[in-house]
A and B are shown apart, each in its own frame.
Chain A
Amino acid sequence: EAGVTQFPSHSVIEKGQTVTLRCDPISGHDNLYWYRRVMGKEIKFLLHFVKESKQDESGMPNNRFLAERTGGTYSTLKVQPAELEDSGVYFCASSPHGQVVGELFFGEGSRLTVL
């Protein structure tokens, strides 16, 4: 069974440009999460999808970030326009429906560097 995959693994862009990160969760997992780790700091929650619906987007930093999950399958996280403070590692995770005390299955992360 394929795990959570994220693309690209590393992206280097200039301030003001746009970047789109993609996450493919484990097949059949209804829950999809985005997290971000800024260098040396804690991993912070960004948002949570249940299928195609946003369950919780309280962690999204501002309106430069847009997340979508079309058809309840893969998800994209677009940053437009990117700022220096957006640099970090963006993690995607998924879990099955109804799993109360379940583990999250993480991807390897997408490292974003904004110059």
Chain B
Amino acid sequence: AQTVTQSQPEMSVQEAETVTLSCTYDTSESDYYLFWYKQPPSRQMILVIRQEAYKQQNATENRFSVNFQKAAKSFSLKISDSQLGDAAMYFCAYRSTFNTGTASKLTFGTGTRLQVTL
């Protein structure tokens, strides 16, 4: 079974600075998807960024980018030019490429709470 580990329960960053949230995972599959989801306080969880394991290029979405190290099974999220609205709980998640049976579910980490200070 796959597992996802987020070792940083809480992180803090100053506005306009850069912060990196770490995520490691364990799997025996060679192809899979990785995601970062964000849940602001009392709001819905939304997708921030996704990475397909067969793609070597790191995904980027505006101020959000990932550092995907497949051999190390590491998938960190970098937030550049942090804004107050980035304050949220961030969850790393894994999904198999198979789309049948039990494979379509997401496996989440425990989350990292990000605080953004002035």
Note all chain B residues with C-beta closer than 8 A to A61: none
Are B105 and A56 interface neighbours, CB within 8 A?
A: yes
Residues of B29-74 whose CB lies within 8 A of A: 33, 35, 37, 39, 42-47, 50, 52
A84 interfacial contact with B, CB 8 Å: no
Residues of B98-118 whose CB lies within 8 A of A: 99, 101-102, 104-111
Are B110 and A104 interface neighbours, CB within 8 A?
A: no
Are A108 and B110 interface neighbours, CB within 8 A?
A: no
Contact (A3, B110) CB under 8 Å given A56-B104, A100-B99: no
1/0 per residue, CB under 8 A from B, across A32-47: the answer is: 0101000011111100
Q: In the bound complex, how far is the Cα of B91 from the Cα of A38, in angstroms?
A: 14
B47, B52, B109: the one within 8 Å of A104 (CB):
B47
Q: Give B residues with C-beta under 8 Å from A.
A: 4, 9, 33, 35, 37, 39, 42-47, 50, 52, 91, 95, 97, 99, 101-102, 104-111
Q: Give A residues with C-beta under 8 Å from B.
A: 3-4, 31, 33, 35, 40-45, 48, 55-56, 58-59, 91, 100-101, 103-108
